[in-house]
Amino acid sequence: MRRILLFAATTGYQVRSFAEAARRLGIEPILATDRCHIMQDPWEDEAIPVRFEEPEHSAVQVVEEIARRGIRIDGVVAVADKPTHLAAFTAARLGIPWHPPHAAGTCGNKHRMRAIFETAGLPAPHHFLAGRPHADTEYPCVLKPLGLSGSRGVIRANNKAEFVAAFGRIRKIVNDPYAPIQIEEYIPGREFALEGLMTHGELRTLAIFDKPDPLTGPFFEETIYVTPSSEPDRVQHEIIETTRKAVRALGLTHGPIHAEMRVNDAGVYMLEIAARPIGGLCARVLRYQTHTFEELLILHAVGHAPDELATARPAAGVMMIPVPEAGIFEGVTGTEAAREIPGIEDVIITAKPGEKLVPLPEGSSYTGFIFAGGSDAPFVTQSLRRAHASLRFRVLKSLDVVGN
């Protein structure tokens, strides 16, 4: 039997989706996750306990455990940002094609990534790493923590007062009063995402997502992703070619990549690239006539990805439901009405009653997800907006929730 190592930080929906997809393909998933090594298989899933903060050391332990079990691993899959570095070290030790450790590590550092893009001759904003607020900063600018994802801690500042406030706020978010912060000139323009697969150094584009809602700050909460892109072929070609140059500059070679970029009259500006697939439930938006997105990535990991892919519908999209306000989530109405809107495929509320809701920039999760499909991208976008407008959230305001 073929086997894959599945590196994941949690045992949530995305992990279950990959595990189930592997079993459908007749491939055994071996889970490696960040949990206490002293506890004896508390979830009875035979997972290998690892520490994502110690990727090189944990890779040695994973390889030793694989040898102890006397099994052969045919591929690796990593879910979310932290597991990717460990997956890279492990794949290198096992001799399995994947992104090299130095490249996966660079993807977790916004400053190093930006410097590499600039050195490669890609369009880049003025940027620098700051240990304290700088008096000569030009505005508007964007402040970013080095290692967080999902727009968490990313703040636009239009003047000195906003800059100083954002600087202190980010350091509280990362819980480090001395943390250096990436400062970048604000890049105007439309924002996009590209989902792709690297195969021995060659990029295969799976989808270009438009983000139709303007992301101008002060925080950058993503909402709608819709594909295929409505941009002219010339712009889409430029997005793909710039991404290809960027992944090669980073050294990413084999496995999924998720790239974010902005486009304006000056060209395509890469924001960042992750050595992983699109996160969380959003992966459901990519479906093919013969395979799910998870099945495609698993087949690629074991060297059997199909050459041709036909999408399951002409256009598709997802809305990551923003946190309506800070407080304690009590419930939501209107989900059934939202599901009845033409084009809507599902509405999933992931927030649980009693859960604390924290908006960006401190927050790191969404209230839920809306999925839609249809004849074209404008129809899908409109369906998502109508469905979201149907929802009514009940949130109990609380003084101890960040954001009040």
- The range of the structural domain enclosing residue 54 comes to 2-106
Residues 18 and 77 in one domain: yes
Q: What CATH number is attached to the domain comprising 149?
A: 3.30.1490.20
**Residue 12 or residue 82, greater confidence:** 82
Q: Is residue 97 part of a domain?
A: yes
The residue out of 156, 185, 214 marking a domain boundary is 185
The pLDDT of residue 40 is 45
**What number is the average pLDDT over the span 308-316?**
93
The pLDDT of residue 284 is 92
Residues 393 and 320 in one domain: yes
Q: Is residue 224 part of a domain?
A: no
Whether the per-residue pLDDT at 233 is higher than 90: the answer is yes
Q: Is residue 390 part of a domain?
A: yes
Q: Is residue 209 part of a domain?
A: no
Residues 402 and 359 in one domain: yes
- Counting residues of the chain whose pLDDT is more than 70, the rounded percentage is 95
Residues 102 and 130 in one domain: no
Q: Is residue 305 part of a domain?
A: no
**What number is the average pLDDT over the span 281-302?**
94
Residues 35 and 75 in one domain: yes
The pLDDT of residue 271 is 96
Q: What CATH number is attached to the domain comprising 346?
A: 3.90.1170.50
> DSSP readout, 379-399?
HHHHHHHHHHHH-EEEEE--T
pTM beyond 0.85:
yes
Nearest CA among 135, 186, 185, 138 for reference residue 164: 135
Residues 100 and 11 in one domain: yes
CA end-to-end span of the chain, whole Å? Answer: 53
Residues 97 and 45 in one domain: yes
Q: Is residue 208 part of a domain?
A: no
The residue out of 43, 76, 106 marking a domain boundary is 106
Residues 98 and 131 in one domain: no
Q: Is residue 160 part of a domain?
A: yes
Instruction: State how beta strands 2-8 and 27-34 pair.
Output: parallel
Nearest CA among 171, 191, 169, 187 for reference residue 179: 171
The pLDDT of residue 252 is 98
Q: Is residue 359 part of a domain?
A: yes
Whether the per-residue pLDDT at 376 is higher than 80: the answer is yes
Residues 91 and 153 in one domain: no
The pLDDT of residue 41 is 42
Residues 100 and 6 in one domain: yes
The per-residue pLDDT for range 337-356, each reduced to its tens digit, is: 999 999 999 999 999 999 99
The residue out of 160, 185, 210 marking a domain boundary is 185
Residues 61 and 100 in one domain: yes
Q: How confident is the model at residue 403 (pLDDT cuts 50, 70, 90)?
A: very low
Q: How confident is the model at residue 329 (pLDDT cuts 50, 70, 90)?
A: very high
Tokens linked to 24: 């459908």
Q: Are 52 and 34 in contact (CB under 8 A)?
A: yes
Q: Give the count of domains, the chain.
A: 3
The pLDDT of residue 218 is 96
The per-residue pLDDT for range 130-183, each reduced to its tens digit, is: 988 776 789 999 999 998 887 899 999 999 999 999 999 999 999 999 999 999
**What number is the average pLDDT over the span 267-283?**
93
The per-residue pLDDT for range 28-56, each reduced to its tens digit, is: 999 999 865 444 444 446 899 999 999 99
HEC sequence for 178-234: CCCEEEEECCCCEEEEEEEEEECCEEEEEEEEECCCCCCCCCCCCCEEEECCCCCHH
Mean pLDDT across the chain: 93
